[in-house]
Amino acid sequence: MPHPDGVDAAANCPQYRAAMVHVAIAPHPVVRTMQRSIYMCAPCNRTRAYMLQTPVLTGNPADPQPQHGHA
């Protein structure tokens, strides 16, 4: 019997309990460490956005380095 265990990378429609299609990833407008994953449900023809933690990238370009000024 099919069992939807281990499908943590997908989202399920709360109405139909069907797997929603991941359509886009957009950066969070405020929180830099978050991103919005947008899923679409075909039966409902609606989209839902989920806030997820952005995976840690190699390097830290967004991390401000302390200035050791010699002015």
Contacts with Zn ion by CB under 5 A lie at 13, 15-16, 41, 43-44
Nearer to Zn ion, 21 or 24 (CB): 21
Minimum separation from the CB atom of position 4 to Zn ion (A): 15
Nearer to Zn ion, 19 or 28 (CB): 19
Q: What is the DSSP letter of 48?
A: E
- Strands 46-53 and 21-27 come out as unpaired
The sign one gets for the Cα dihedral 52, 58, 60, 61 is negative
Minimum separation from the CB atom of position 21 to Zn ion (A): 11
